[in-house]
Structure formats: structure tokens, C-alpha cells
Amino acid sequence: MSRFAAAIAESIWDMKYRFKEADGTPIDQSVEDTWRRIVRDLAKVEKDPAAWEEKFYAALEDFKYLPAGRITAGAGTARKVTLFNCFVMGTIPDNMAGIFDMLKEAALTMQQGGGIGYDFSTIRPNGADVKGVAADASGPLSFMDVWDAMCRTIMSAGSRRGAMMATMRCDHPDIEAFITAKSDPARLRMFNMSVLVTDAFMEAVKADGPWELVFDGKVYHTVEARDLWNKIMRNTYDQAEPGVIFIDRINAANNLHYVEEIAATNPCGEQPLPPYGACLLGSINLARLVADPFEKAAKLDKAALSELVTTAVRMMDNVVDASKFPLEAQAQEAQAKRRIGLGVTGLADALLMLGLRYGGEEAAAQTEAWMKAIAEAAYRASMELAKEKGAFPLFDADQYVDGGMVQHLDEDLKADIRKHGIRNALLTSIAPTGTISLYAGNVSSGIEPVFAYAYTRKVLQKDGSRTEEEVVDYAVKLWREKFGDKALPDHFVNAQTLAPEDHVRMQAAAQKWIDSSISKTINCPEEISFDAFKDVYMQAWDTGCKGCTTYRPNDITGSVLTVSENSEDAPGEKPADAVADTGEVIYMAEPLDRPATLEGATYKLKWPDSEHAIYLTVNDVVINGHRRPFEVFINSKNMEHYAWTLALTRMISAVFRRGGDVSFVVEELKAVFDPRGGAWMEGKYIPSILAAIGGVIEKHMIAIGFIEGEGKGLKSDPHAEALVVGEAPKGKPCPSCGEYDLMMVEGCMTCRSCDYSKCG
């Protein structure tokens, strides 16, 4: 029998984690093969690899421990990819050569599959003197535009675009421009952005005092602290960015306070990291550890939890040695501190199984207790590893044990750490787990509440027919198996019904025993007042959170968390199909076979200074009355173009035949620049011949009604706001698979049906 609890879990495994040949032929024949590939690779460094391979396998079996996606996809494949998820890059020097050295490092890191974080506070503000050239500085925002353009051109490992986090201190003279930068919808789309908020600033906000904007000891402006705070809040209220990072709190609570200063985080915020720091992530699936779910005797097996954490820590420590790194500085940083980030997923489902309402006081207390148990088991496991393999090189007994989160551990454990050292400087972090939670059977993601208890996913088959798959939350599936169609109890709440303060309460409860940080989105209703919205951030500050990220649906961000008037229908009932029969955006299980006859158009493209024209033919397929691009042919008499035009023809056609929102092909082609220079065509500067081809394809997509217009997305569908009855959220459909399952996770609009993700 299949190990997968849901069809979507197997689809995610096949698309994201299954090891395949370059031509798509599977190497992993089953998920057991995937587990075996991972554990064999991570056990290589052990003195008894065979014994540890079996222990590691037992942890992965049945999705109890979930290494992060890069480990699951990359371990044991011998591919040149990093097993670390994200990096914070080096400190940006305040000079032109240094800035572009950092840009190069960022490109090399993203090329291997790592997201990156950067603090742009170190660059002098706009208008500052540039000595020696009699000019004014253009400021950090202008260089962020360069980073943004670079990120658009780098394909990270697998099929993800690179993700970036930009931070800026609240006392930088350009902070106001930073706060409002993404009000321009075309600017800095590859970045998540967060303001580094200091303790002094929060005190000034509460006291309604003045606030100086300073760089290199010079005061550029003095503003009212509360006015600046309101500007941050207003932009976040309207645009969902910037986020807020309480940076002094992070540094004060850092176990490594004595050897590093943190000024940035990874793109999703759960890992505050020093220059060249990397985040290595994995999650304990709490939903798999609950015994007797929904019964009075229901409980989480603490012994099993402790054993699983102990094994997971050892596996993650081995990843430090097994992984490749884009830069030598990253490898040295990882080896010196051996930082890992063990977190959880399935928390909300586990609480449901115990009869606890997510966001309630009892659920928060239980969450804190579980996090404490994980932290203590992780620190003890790492201490035992230090006995066997040695402490991390920068371990200092006095400074380590008496600072950071370590000071709150049990006295006996602290004494053991002081005596024997510890293998990993930091051990816990809670990451967003959207994809791996689906892979594990659609358990609730990270420490987030359940977003939708059940929804229908459509899959287009090669013959043009469509099948429907019901995707059910893991806890709801167990409830159905036990109680059939019996109505769900009142404690089954979801993201659409929770008050913001419930979210904050859960984040604060978990934070007490997480030595890094937490990826958590606090969902706010669209109608929340601005003052109430600001109170959410103040509550996060007052309750000890290290940062705060909210999402309020509106016309700009999109409405993704509104439920229907009929939302009290039992999730156990099959939802009625009210989704429009569209052909524009739908995931295809396999590429469609080519019909015998297709309609299309041919375009002539004459590139200046080129002897021969290029002819582009775009043919379309009609699905359910809607026309969409199906294939492309690119021809030229210039034989110098033959190889790349043939390759482009095949690649674009392959993408088109997979379905979904293929308009991104236009965006990618139009972003390509030729270092030899572009050309002016029809009054516009086109940066390359590839960009010109992208423009022609865009013109065709507009002509057939596939996209709305130049530089715009899919043509609006009059049924786009249609809502299936039941628990599925209302809002925009996913541009990749068409499902109404988009959710905002740490600034990234993410689809749980197909793992589409767009950050910023």
C-alpha cells in the first residue's frame, strides 16, 4: 500500500522531491527509495553508517520527521546543490566595488538554490557626499533595484525563483523611502522587506518622542517616532509590507551574542543570521505523534517526541558536513557554529486531536509545553553529540551557558553543557512548511492554524477530461475515519475565523522556547480598523515576539481569506462545484497530446543590424471554449541562431503544454539583456533579441485574450471570485493550477495545491 495519506501528497513528492534522470525518468521508484537515499547520504559520516541509516530511516518513515525540501530533494543525488535553505550574505561595504562584489556573491548563492537576506543599512543614504568623485550617493534603494533585476535572471535549483529579504534599520536616513518602496507595483518584486526596529525606537513610539535618522554618526533628519511607526503600519496595512523585526530583542536572546551581531534574516524570517550565516531546517510532525486522537485519553507521546528530536538533531548535524556551499565563507560560518533549525509542523492538527481550540489560552499553554519539551530534548541531544564528536568550535562555556535562551534551560542540563560543550550553537526554529506539510498528508503548516478543512482540486487529463480530487486536512481525515459524517466540534477553528490576537498568542507561546525565530503570518480581517491593526504589532512587542508579519486582504493584496455565507456546511460533505469552467489556468497531470489541427499566427521580427528576420509562429489550443498558447516555432535563415532558436522552441512549447499560468515565459524573456547592447524598436528600448521574442509572444497572448495587456497578468475571469461551498477560501485562483487555495505565508503568496509561490 502507498505510504501517502492523500493523492496530493504523492503528487508533491513526484513533482518536488522524487529523484529523476535529466529526461524525467524516475530513479526513486517509491517514497521509501527517497527516504533511503536521504538517510544513506546523511549516515556516511558516522562511524557505524549502517546502524545509523536504520535509525534515520525510522525517523523519516511515515513522515514523522520532515527534513526541509532542499535536503529531501538533494541529499544523495550527487548534484551540485546546497542542502541549506537560505543564507544571510556578508555585510555590504559602503563603496561601489564592495557593493558589486556582494551582488556577485548573491548571484552565485541563488544559482545553487539558496534564498538570501541582506541588510542594506550599511549603504550611505541618498544625497550623501561621495568623496573623490564630486557626486551625491544614490542611496540603498537604487542598489536594491540592481539586486532585484539580478534575482529575476537567476533560476534557483529545481523550479523556484530566488527569494530575497531586505532589511533596513529604523534609524537609517532613507528608512521612509524603504517603507514605501513597494507602493510602486513594478518595483522590488523579488524582495520581502522588513524594518529592523530597535528597543529605543519602540520606547520613543510609546513616549511619543523624537527620533533621529543617522548614518555614520551624522544626523540627517529628526522625525517624530510615532509618525514613523504609523508610516510603517499604514504601508503594511495597505500593502502587507514591510514586516517588523525586533532586532535588539533578537541579539539579546542570541546564544552567540558574544561572537556575532545579527542585522538580517532569511527570506521568511524564521532565521535571524549573522553575515554568511545559513539556515538548515527540519520539522517534527506533531500530528503523527498523537495517540488516541479525539478521545478523552488523547495525548502526544512525549517519549516518542524526545526520541524523534534526538535522532533529528543528529541527522541535521550531519547535513552540515554533507552539504555543499555556494561560497567558502558560508561553509566556514556553518562549520564554526553548526547552527540548525529544528521546528514543527502539524501543530494545529495536533491541538484539534486533543480537543483544544487553536488560539485559546489552553492551546497556547500546550504549545509552550511542547516547544519546551522539544528544546530540552534538542539541547540534550546536542550536548551528547558534543561528548562524542566535539563542541562547535566557537563554544565558550561561560558566555554560552549564561546568555541567550540557554540560561532558561534546566540547571542540570546547563551544568552538562558547561562541562561537555554542545555540538550546535542554536537548535530550534519554526519555518513555513507549506510544501512538506502537503507531502506529509496535508497536515497543518508549521504553527499556523488550518487554512481550509476540505476543498476540491481539478486535474486536466490528456484526453481533455477533468478529474476531481478532494484535498482534506489531515485531522479532518482522521475525524471522518472515526466518526463518519458527524459534525465537527466547535473547537475546529481555522484561519478565517480566528481573531488576530489568537495568532499573536500562539506565536508568543511558541517563541519562548525557540532560540532562532518563527515564521508566522497573523491574518487580519479586511475590515479591521487601522488602530486595531496597529495594536496587533504592539501586542506582538509586548508579549515577547521577535518580529511580526500580518496579512490583511484588500484590493492590492488580494482577498484570499474570506469564507462564504454558507461556510457552516459540514466539511465532511463534498463541496459543490461553483468554480468556473475555464481553460486559462489549470494544472495538467501530463502534457496534452497535440491535436491534428491548431489555429495560430505567425509574426515577423526584424532585429536591427541583423541580416535575416526571425519568424515566430504561436499555435493555440482551445479548452472549454478558452484559447491558450500551446506551442511555438522560431525560424531564421541565420544559421548562427539555429541552436538557440531550436532550444527555445522546444523549451517554451514544453512549458505551454503543461498548462497553468504560462505568462511568466513572457516576463522571463523580456528580462534578458544582452551585454553587447539592445536596440530601439517601435519607440521602445529592447534589451536583447530574446526580450524582443518575449514581446512578440506577449502580443499574441493579448490578441487571443489570454492576458489582459502588456505587462499584466491573466485576463480577468468573471467567475474569479466564485466560491465552492464549504471551507475553501475565496479569492484569486492560483496562477499555476487554478485552485482557490492561495494563502499568504511570510510575505509569499503560496498555493497549497501545487506549491506555486510568489514572494513580495
Average pLDDT over residues 503-531: 94
The pLDDT assigned to 595 comes to: 73
Grid cell digits, residue 334: 556553518
Catalytic residue among 266, 285, 318, 619: 266
User: Which has more confidence, 725 or 349?
Assistant: 349
**Domain limits of the chain?**
1-85+280-455+470-523, 86-265, 599-703
CATH number belonging to the domain at 1-85+280-455+470-523, selected among 3.20.70.20, 3.30.1200.10, 3.30.230.10, 3.40.190.10: 3.20.70.20
Is the pLDDT confidence value at 746 over 70? no
Burial class (CB in 10 A: 0-12, 13-18, 19+), 673: middle
Question: In 473-580, where does DSSP find H-type helix?
Answer: 474-483, 500-511, 530-542
β-bridge pairing 86-88 and 278-279: antiparallel
pLDDT value at 434 more than 90: no
Q: Is the dihedral of CA 424, 430, 435, 436 positive or negative?
A: positive
Beta carbons of 63 and 285 less than 8 angstroms apart? yes
Give the mean model confidence (pLDDT) for residues 564-568. Answer: 29
Peptide bond into 242 cis (omega under 30): yes
**What pLDDT does 719 receive?**
33
Active site residue 266: yes
- Whether 751 is catalytic: no
Residue pair 156/111 in contact (Cβ under 8 Å)? The answer is: yes
Any bridge partners for residue 234, and if so which? none
Stretch 477-486: mean pLDDT, rounded?
Answer: 93
- pLDDT at res. 162: 59
CA-CA-CA-CA torsion for 505, 508, 512, 513, nearest 10 degrees? Answer: 80
Candidate list 53, 241, 260, 270, residue with the active-site label? 270
Write down the pTM of the prediction. Answer: 0.77
pLDDT at 377 over 90: yes
pLDDT bracket for residue 760 (50, 70, 90): very low
Percent of all residues in the chain with a pLDDT value above 70, rounded to a whole number: 84
Instruction: Tell me what the mean pLDDT of segment 160-179 comes to.
Output: 89
The values of phi and psi at residue 746, to 5°, are 50, 50
Please indicate whether residue 268 is annotated as part of the active site.
yes
Q: Give 86-265's CATH code, choosing from 3.10.28.10, 3.20.70.20, 3.60.15.10, 3.90.1150.10.
A: 3.20.70.20
Q: How far apart are CA 760 and CA 749, in angstroms?
A: 8
Kindly report the average pLDDT of the chain as a whole number.
Answer: 85
Considering 86, 170, 268, 279, which one is annotated as catalytic?
268
**What is the grid cell recorded at 711?**
505587462
Cβ neighbours of residue 188 closer than 8 Å, sequence gap 6 or more = 144, 145, 148, 166, 181, 182, 760
pLDDT tops 90 at residue 49:
yes
Which is more confidently placed, 59 or 709? 59
Kindly state the cell numbers that stand for 553.
486582504
pLDDT above 60 (res 210): yes
Which three three-digit cell numbers place residue 686? 529592447
**How many residues are recorded in the chain?**
760
Query: For residue 620, is pLDDT > 50?
Result: yes
pLDDT confidence bin for 461, thresholds 50/70/90: low
Q: In CATH terms, are 1-85+280-455+470-523 and 86-265 the same topology?
A: yes
Give which of 130, 232, 116 is closest to 181, Cα–Cα. Answer: 232
- In this prediction, residue 443 carries a pLDDT of 94
Q: Which residues contact 124 (CB under 8 A, 6 or more apart)?
A: 94, 130, 137, 139, 215, 216
User: Could you tell me the pLDDT band of residue 575, with boundaries at 50, 70 and 90?
Assistant: very low
What's the pLDDT at 727?
36
Bridge partners of 218, per DSSP, are 215
State residue 715's pLDDT score.
54
pLDDT of residue 284: 98
Question: Would you give the DSSP letter of residue 49?
Answer: H
- Residue 79: CA atoms inside 13 Å, Cβ hemisphere, count? 20
Q: Which residue has the cell 481555522?
A: 494
Q: What is the pLDDT of residue 566?
A: 30
Q: What is the mean pLDDT of residues 131-149?
A: 85
Q: How many Å from the N-terminal Cα to the C-terminal Cα in the chain? A: 41
Structure-model confidence comparison of residues 456 and 450, the more confident one: 450
Q: Measured between alpha carbons, how far is 561 from 532 in angstroms, rounded to an integer?
A: 18
